[in-house]
Amino acid sequence: MPSETEYANTDFDLKSATPFDTLQRELDESCCVLHYTHGGDGHWHSIVESSHEDESDNRNAELDIAAILEAVNRLSPVAKAELHACYLREFNIGFHCWDTWAYIHTLPNAIVRAIADANCSIAVTLYPMRNPDGTPKE
């Protein structure tokens, strides 16, 4: 039976040449910091998601991005300076790709504008849900 392509989540990916401990601590108060580490490349990396308090099927990129931007807007001056120092500030929208011929997931212009106003970028990740032989991934 065919499965429909669906929105998975949005990661807020951050990278910096310097640590951003205050930023991560403050984001973790209202978001979910999945990962914050000093990478092998000598830079600091983080992956943040919205808190996902609403686990319903009504979640979408607009709601998740808005929740993260709301947290960003509440940051202290120190945390905002650390965010500004990040050379990557990217909202990475993920989708589980199944059997849907075409799939549309729109972002309203207000959320695109808010992302741009926050000096962030947008990326898209497509997660294949089938193995090369066509069998579903587990």
Per-residue pLDDT tens over the stretch 89-135: 999 999 999 988 889 999 999 999 999 999 999 999 999 888 888 88
Alpha-carbon gap, residue 38 to 18, rounded angstroms: 9
- pLDDT averaged over the chain? 93
Establish how many alpha carbons lie within 13 A of residue 32's alpha carbon, considering only the half-sphere containing its beta carbon. 11
57 has pLDDT over 60: yes
Element housing 22 (H / E): helix 21-27
Q: Is 135 exposed, middle or buried (0-12, 13-18, 19+ CB in 10 A)?
A: exposed
Mean pLDDT of 33-37: 96
Alpha-carbon gap, residue 44 to 20, rounded angstroms: 8
**pTM exceeds 0.85 for this model:** yes
